[in-house]
Amino acid sequence: MLLRITEIEALTSTIRRIRLESADSAPLTSFQPGAHVEIGLPLGDVVAFRKYSLISDGEDGSHYEIAVKRAEHGRGGSVFIHDELNVGDELDVSAPVNEFSVASQGAHHVLIAGGIGITPMLGIASRLKQSGGSYELHYSGRTADEMAFHDRVRHDHGDQAQLYVTRGEGATRLDIAALLDRHQADADTHLYVCGPAQLIDAVRLAAEARGVNRRRIHFESFGPSWDATDGTVRIAMSESAIELEVAPGTTLLDAMEAAGAWIPSDCKRGECGACIASYSGGRPIHRDNCLTEEQRQHSMCPCVSWAASDEVLTLQL
């Protein structure tokens, strides 16, 4: 559907809030908190679709709202949104999709957000508060000035929210081990995490180490990300005899498919494990959210992970 940008607000120096309304004033599809939309963005010669969590009230059909952090080393979508979009522009936006909903069987809900990962948590926490649900919200960022919705979270959720600022005077850090220790035996407690891959990984692996049932852990990532230190990767696929170089800005999976390899895949966010590939040489940089530490000794997810640039990454594909 075609939606028009009716408002743009700078929440921080790197995060913008975008309000979208129907171009013909028709009511929008309602959604449950935690949902996201896919937005088509003209990047180069193609229209690329990017996923963004909805922060607006799912019951208010007048508009959708997203918050987008500028990622200089991303795939170009956030930079386009920050540099090119203006009020009045129209965008192709999908209907809301929810893969991060509140577990109906949960008696208590632990929400963990890092940085821009606060976006889906706003609606989830608000809905839990409105319904009288039992919850706690942990929100971590580098500085208060860089944390979008810092004051809103503190105001709306009071004692239910803990905020952590990891840099500067009085810095505090979320103790994931202590948090998991406190809730690991509570079979009716569900944990939700959204934010950088390192945070999701830390929570997921800490829960696994404590024997927490995987059905109690819910997470949402936003697909592949790049680090400023990433270099060009050389890949050798031993079974298909394909060799290629991949520069940051495209995923290993996309590059291999473009070179003629067929690799099963699904979510392309490092969550489902459909594209898992075994490697026999090189040093992967794991950025998935599904493999165990043991599996990472011999396998990787090329949809989101990268590799050291000083060795050839040999995949058994």
Task: Please report, for the domain that includes residue 138, its CATH number.
Answer: 3.40.50.80
Alpha helices in the chain (DSSP H): 77-84, 118-131, 150-157, 176-183, 197-209, 252-258
Residue 128 lies in a domain: yes
Same domain, 35 and 136: no
Sheet with 189-194: list strands edge to edge: 161-165, 135-141, 108-114, 189-194, 217-220
Instruction: Please tell me whether residues 198 and 120 are part of one structural domain.
Output: yes
| Per-residue pLDDT at 205 exceeds 80 | yes
> Does residue 194 belong to any structural domain of this protein?
yes
For the full predicted model, state whether its pTM sits above 0.85.
no
CA 317, CA 309: separation in Å to the nearest integer? Answer: 19
Mean pLDDT of 67-83: 88
Closest among 6, 11, 8 to 81, alpha carbons compared: 8
Domain termination residue (choose one: 220, 246, 269):
220
Any idea what the CATH number is for the domain that residue 302 is in? 3.10.20.30
Q: Are 114 and 194 in contact (CB under 8 A)?
A: yes
Q: Are 224 and 51 in contact (CB under 8 A)?
A: no
The verdict on 120 and 143 lying in the same domain is: yes
Task: Give the pLDDT mean for 240-262.
Answer: 89
Is residue 294 included in any domain, yes or no?
yes
225 is a domain residue: no
- Total number of domains constituting the chain: 3
* 182 shares a domain with 250: no
Checking if the pLDDT of 279 tops 90, the result is yes
Q: Which of 60, 93, 126 marks a domain boundary? A: 93
**Cα separation, 116 vs 271, whole angstroms:** 19
What's the rounded mean pLDDT across residues 283-307? 91
For residue 83, give the nearest of 68, 94, 66 by alpha carbon.
Answer: 68
In a domain, 120, yes or no: yes
Lowest mean per-residue pLDDT among 105-114, 147-156, 284-293: 284-293
Residues 174 and 258 both lie in one domain? no
pLDDT band, residue 168 (cuts 50/70/90): confident
Q: Which residue has the higher pLDDT, 267 or 149?
A: 149
Give CA separation, 127 vs 153, 163, 177, in Å: 13, 19, 27
**pLDDT (0 to 100) of residue 271:** 82
In a domain, 102, yes or no: no
Please indicate, yes or no, if residue 180 is contained in any of the structural domains: yes
Is residue 283 domain-shared with residue 252, that is, in the same domain?
A: yes
CATH of the domain at 26: 2.40.30.10
The average pLDDT across 60-77 equals 88
**pLDDT-above-70 percentage for the chain:** 99
Residue 100 lies in a domain: no
Same domain, 113 and 72: no
Q: What is the pLDDT of residue 222?
A: 67
Give the confidence band of 24 by pLDDT, cuts at 50, 70, 90. confident
Of 34, 75, 38, nearest in space to 54 by CA: 34
Q: How far are the Cα atoms of 21, 68, 75, 283 from residue 11, in angstroms, in the given order?
A: 20, 10, 22, 38
Same domain, 194 and 255: no
| Of the residues 191, 220, 249, the one at which a domain ends | 220
Q: Which domain holds residue 172?
A: 108-220
